[in-house]
Amino acid sequence: MNSSPVPLPATPTILVDGDACPVKEEIYKVAFRRNVPVVVVSNSAFRIPVHPLVRRVVVSDGFDAADDWIAAEAGARSVVVTADILLAERCLKAGATVLSPAGKPFTTSSIGGKIATRAIMADLRAGGDIVGGPAPFSREDRSRFLSALDEALVRLARG
């Protein structure tokens, strides 16, 4: 009987919506500790660590170019870091784990409500209503993100 070995699952990858991501340093810290590749996708070049695990992809400044690249690459072995709700939905549909920079996971059961809230807020702004933006990014958000990213990578590593 000739049985071939079961291939090991592909290494998890962290895909970062990089232009406005406030937790890039935290991502690098966790990625280096866990030996996980990071791809930072943006419309403009900015400084990233010189490290074999970190790669930068600069896309055109076309509308949603970075989102399109990330969504095309996202899959079951990806952790996507984004604050963009519509990108989060696309990545969830591709089977990716998706985290906000504040460490809150986007899930298939929560994304619909987030999209609806986003649409309501856009309508209010378009009508001239003054609505507040997101709360200031805090130390607690940073800490929650570190824990959430670490937990997501552990889950993916276990298969």
Tell me the domains of the chain and their CATH numbers.
13-158 (3.40.50)
Higher pLDDT, 131 or 29: 29
Q: What is the pLDDT of residue 62?
A: 84
Sign of CA dihedral 84, 86, 89, 91: negative
Tell me the pLDDT band of 4, cut-offs 50, 70 and 90. very low
Under a CB-based contact definition with an 8 Å cutoff, are residues 41 and 18 in contact?
yes
Q: Dump pLDDT digits (tens) for 58-80.
A: 999 888 899 999 999 999 999 99
Q: What is the pLDDT of residue 17?
A: 95
Whether pLDDT at 124 is above 70: no
Under a CB-based contact definition with an 8 Å cutoff, are residues 71 and 90 in contact?
yes
